[in-house]
């Protein structure tokens, strides 16, 4: 979401760059940007101006930006958590956007070369049995609540940590998410395990309405999940708060929840963001597809699953060109392979197996000159190669 900032109300060239950066960040916060967004802009601007030794904003050139970008791609950022060119490229993608926005606010026309955004990775998820092991390894009600809440609601870590007991309606089984991304409130629903754990916590603790549901910092939540993963015999590198959000989304789609509903629950503004989880259930889709299309067709001749129960009569010129159905029609001149019957009307049926085109006989009324001398298939009169077996019929 683009925050409208307008332009600086003073001549930025007359002031120290540090002052200009702070004024920009203050304007960003006043325009409604959240703390996390301001922090990201601060990191980007400080990194760039550190690189150019805090030269005056009006003296910055495109060459400065190009050198900074190249240096960061090659050597990375100070204190970066994740190494590798892909991670650096992702960081630079956002940093160049932030830098461009800063100069726009300053009223300075300077070209900021963009960095291509790396292709989004397929989200990591936990298997149902891994979630079960984490629940079994829980030491107390807080452990149980963390896992069940994140995996049954798909909340972001920051959203879960900001929840108050006043946001929870156990009767309607709803949670009002007030600290949502983009500042938009939404409602998520309480799953069966989360419901039981919350009831027990409220019964034992009798919390005040304004008390936090999960009284931890992000670091505390992160470490608690890592410890829980170790106790459950799961690689701790696989377990993070956002992985449980991915797991919720994938499981919801797998169980048949519509993708637009999942989008609403997750708080995604763009459906494309939610659709990345569809890739994770492709095996389920494939199995369902095979289940539907491998079902035996009861009627003869061939029947379409889209037009059932009305059978489709196959025109004579195309009889015989089937692709592995349990039984299919063949031309009046049947092959001499045996094992078939000829019902009334001249439609032949064969045992359920795949037949290649070269197994069919020569059709009526087709000149032998228009047939492949190798396999006997019909070929166009001007063809150089047989479309069935690839045999060269004519030389150039």
**DSSP letters of 78-123?**
TT-SS-SHHHHHHHHHHHHHHHHHHHHHHT--------PPPPPPPP
pLDDT at 360: 28
pLDDT at 294: 63
**Full strand arrangement of the beta sheet holding 174-177:** 168-169, 174-177, 186-189
Spatial distance between the Cα atoms of 311 and 211, rounded to a whole number of angstroms:
66
Spatial distance between the Cα atoms of 56 and 279, rounded to a whole number of angstroms:
48
Ranges of residues in the chain whose predicted pLDDT is under 50: 297-368, 396
- Is the domain of 176 the same as that of 62? no
Q: How many CB atoms lie within 10 A of CB 380?
A: 9
Would you say residue 304 lies in a domain?
no
Residue 260's domain spans which residues?
Answer: 128-287
pLDDT at 292: 65
Helices 85-106 and 17-30, interaxial angle, to 10°?
A: 90
pLDDT at 322: 32
154 neighbors 248 (Cβ within 8 angstroms): yes
348 neighbors 327 (Cβ within 8 angstroms): no
Would you say residue 343 lies in a domain?
no
Q: How many CB atoms lie within 10 A of CB 145?
A: 20
pLDDT at 376: 73
What's the number of domains the chain is made of? 2
* CATH at 52: 1.10.150
- Is the domain of 158 the same as that of 272? yes
pLDDT at 366: 36
Q: What is the pTM of this model?
A: 0.55
Would you say residue 257 lies in a domain?
yes
pLDDT at 236: 92
Determine if residue 233 is left, alpha or beta; phi over 0 gives left, psi from -120 to 50 gives alpha, anything else beta.
left
Angle at CA of residue 274, ends 119 and 129, nearest 5° = 95
- Is the domain of 133 the same as that of 271? yes
- Is the domain of 95 the same as that of 144? no
- Is the domain of 79 the same as that of 228? no
73 neighbors 92 (Cβ within 8 angstroms): yes
- Is the domain of 134 the same as that of 68? no
pLDDT at 368: 43
Would you say residue 169 lies in a domain?
yes
- Is the domain of 152 the same as that of 275? yes
277 DSSP 8-state letter: G
Cα dihedral angle (104, 110, 113, 119), rounded to 10 degrees? 10
Would you say residue 100 lies in a domain?
yes
- Domain ends where: 106, 138, 167? 106
- Domain ends where: 264, 287, 310? 287
- Please name the helix (run of DSSP H) or strand (run of DSSP E) that holds residue 177, with its range, or none: strand 174-177
Would you say residue 361 lies in a domain?
no
Rg (CA), the chain: 33
pLDDT at 250: 86
* CATH at 162: 1.10.443.10
- Is the domain of 165 the same as that of 100? no
- Is the domain of 50 the same as that of 199? no
149: nearest Cα among 76, 236, 214, 58: 214
- Is the domain of 170 the same as that of 42? no
**Which residues are marked as active site?**
156, 181, 242, 245, 268, 277
The tokens describing 257, both together, are 């929840």
229: nearest Cα among 239, 220, 219: 239
- Is the domain of 58 the same as that of 195? no
The tokens describing 194, both together, are 């989360």
- Is the domain of 81 the same as that of 158? no
Start-to-end CA distance of the chain, whole Å, equals 62
Angle at CA of residue 49, ends 44 and 54, nearest 5° = 155
Would you say residue 152 lies in a domain?
yes
Would you say residue 372 lies in a domain?
no
């Amino acid at each position: 979401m683009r925050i409208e900032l307008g332009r600086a109300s003073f001549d930025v060239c007359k002031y120290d760059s540090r002052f200009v950066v702070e004024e920009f960040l203050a304007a960003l916060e006043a325009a409604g940007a959240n703390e996390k967004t301001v922090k990201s802009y601060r990191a980007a601007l400080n990194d760039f101006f550190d690189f150019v030794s805090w030269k005056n904003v009006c003296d910055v050139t495109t060459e400065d930006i190009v050198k900074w970008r190249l240096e960061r791609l090659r050597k990375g950022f100070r204190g970066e958590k994740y190494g590798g060119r892909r991670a650096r490229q992702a960081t630079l993608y956002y940093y160049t956007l932030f830098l461009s926005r800063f100069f726009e606010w300053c009223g300075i026309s300077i070209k900021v070369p963009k960095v291509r955004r790396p292709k989004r990775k397929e989200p990591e998820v936990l298997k149902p049995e891994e979630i079960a092991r984490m629940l079994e390894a829980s030491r107390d009600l807080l452990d149980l609540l963390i896992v069940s809440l994140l995996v049954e609601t798909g909340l972001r870590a920051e959203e879960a940590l900001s929840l108050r007991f006043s946001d929870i309606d156990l009767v309607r089984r709803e949670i009002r998410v007030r600290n949502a991304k983009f500042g938009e409130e939404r409602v998520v629903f309480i799953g069966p395990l989360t419901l039981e754990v919350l009831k027990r916590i409220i019964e034992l603790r009798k919390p005040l309405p304004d008390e936090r549901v999960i009284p931890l910092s992000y670091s505390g939540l992160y470490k608690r999940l890592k410890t829980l993963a170790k106790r459950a015999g799961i690689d701790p590198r696989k377990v993070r708060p956002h992985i449980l959000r991915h797991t919720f989304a994938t499981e919801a789609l797998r169980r048949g929840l519509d993708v637009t509903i999942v989008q609403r629950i997750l708080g995604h503004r763009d459906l494309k963001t939610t659709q990345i989880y569809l890739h994770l259930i492709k095996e389920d889709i494939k199995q369902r597809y095979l289940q539907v299309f491998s079902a035996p067709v009861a009627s003869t001749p061939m029947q379409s699953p889209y037009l059932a129960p009305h059978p489709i009569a196959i025109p004579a010129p195309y009889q015989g060109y089937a692709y592995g159905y349990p039984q299919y029609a063949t031309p009046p001149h049947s092959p001499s392979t045996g094992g078939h019957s000829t019902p009334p009307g001249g439609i032949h049926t064969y045992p359920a197996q795949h037949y290649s085109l070269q197994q069919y006989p020569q059709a009526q009324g087709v000149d032998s000159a228009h047939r492949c001398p190798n396999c006997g298939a019909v070929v166009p009169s001007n063809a150089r190669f047989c479309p069935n077996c690839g045999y060269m019929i004519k030389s150039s």
